[in-house]
Amino acid sequence: MARKILVTGMAGQIGQILCRELSATYDFVGIDRKPTPSGLPEDFHVAEIADFDAIRPRFDGVDTVIHLGADPSPRASWDSVLDNNIIGTRNVFEAAREAGVRRVVFASSNHVVGYYPMKDDPYRAVYEGRLADIRHPIEPLTATHLRPDSYYGVSKAFGESLGSYFHDAFGLSVICMRIGWVMTPDDPSFSAAALSLWLSHADAARFIEKCIEAPKHVGFAIVHGMSDNELRIWEKDDTRRIVGFDPEDGAGETWIERPGAPKPI
């Protein structure tokens, strides 16, 4: 029998990718604050995750929660982050605990370490496309780095801490995905930062499937979801070891190396 997977934020970009790529594999239930666009599962519910009572019934019988629901903007106000990302995320973990869900896969973000590439070389040189200034090999950013660049980034770090607590206190399996940049259209060639951060649609679906299927002994982990980009600055070995994710796509850096070359987008 297919796993029953509850996706919060299902009407968003990544939710729709999951629905398109993995509907044959899983039995999806969706929650979102937005009314359903086309292409979502029949079992879809409009609800605010900040409202515990409104979302709680959807967790019964669920195997895995994919928690994508959030104000996704790094420019989000404190009030919006507080309701949607902090209170909402606590509600999702608490509802999962109450309902006896097996695992929560939480959408964290590169923004929990966003000030490294905004401030410090060599990461900053990567984001700015100053390839000549980069000394290789770059020491990758890992699960123990933390330097949020916004209230949004702080809220994602909060969700990781909360997941660690729910794992240790209640035995809930929690995998936090530090996601790079999933974009539509699925082409990162418009900037060096995008070439570094890119997670292709196909890799996003593969990555999340790996997080759902990771072995039972994975109790708590923070892993990285970026494609195999030449300008990648986040670890990939830990992620491969823990959940078995090997990206199949990857962005080169060729366009940057040709000064004056027209940017594809």
Catalytic residue numbers read: 152
**What is the distance between the alpha carbons of residues 176 and 255, in angstroms, rounded to a whole number?**
32
Are the beta carbons of 145 and 119 closer than 8 angstroms? no
Q: Footprint of a second copy on residues 27-86 (CB under 8 A)?
A: 78, 82, 86
The contacts of residue 248 (CB under 8 Å, 6+ apart) are 202, 203, 206, 227, 228
**What is the distance between the alpha carbons of residues 127 and 109, in angstroms, rounded to a whole number?**
16
Residue 148 or 247: the one with the smaller Cβ distance to a second copy is: 148
Find the shortest distance in angstroms from Cβ 63 to a second copy.
Answer: 25
Among 137, 144, 171, 262, binds a second copy (CB under 8 A): 144
Find the shortest distance in angstroms from Cβ 146 to a second copy.
Answer: 6
Find the shortest distance in angstroms from Cβ 222 to a second copy.
Answer: 10
Binding letters toward a second copy, positions 148-187, x by CB under 8 A: xxxx-xx--xx--xx-xx--xx------------------
**What is the distance between the alpha carbons of residues 92 and 29, in angstroms, rounded to a whole number?**
14
Residue for token pair 């079992």: 43
Residue 118 or 218: the one with the smaller Cβ distance to a second copy is: 118
Q: Footprint of a second copy on residues 101-130 (CB under 8 A)?
A: 112, 115, 118-119
233 makes contact with a second copy (CB under 8 A): no
Quick one: how many helices (H) and strands (E) in the chain?
A: 11, 7
Find the shortest distance in angstroms from Cβ 129 to a second copy.
Answer: 22
> How would you classify residue 143: left for phi > 0, otherwise alpha for psi between -120 and 50, otherwise beta?
alpha
Are the beta carbons of 248 and 58 closer than 8 angstroms? no
Residues found near a second copy in the complex (CB under 8 A): 78, 82, 86-87, 90, 94, 112, 115, 118-119, 144-151, 153-154, 157-158, 161-162, 164-165, 168-169
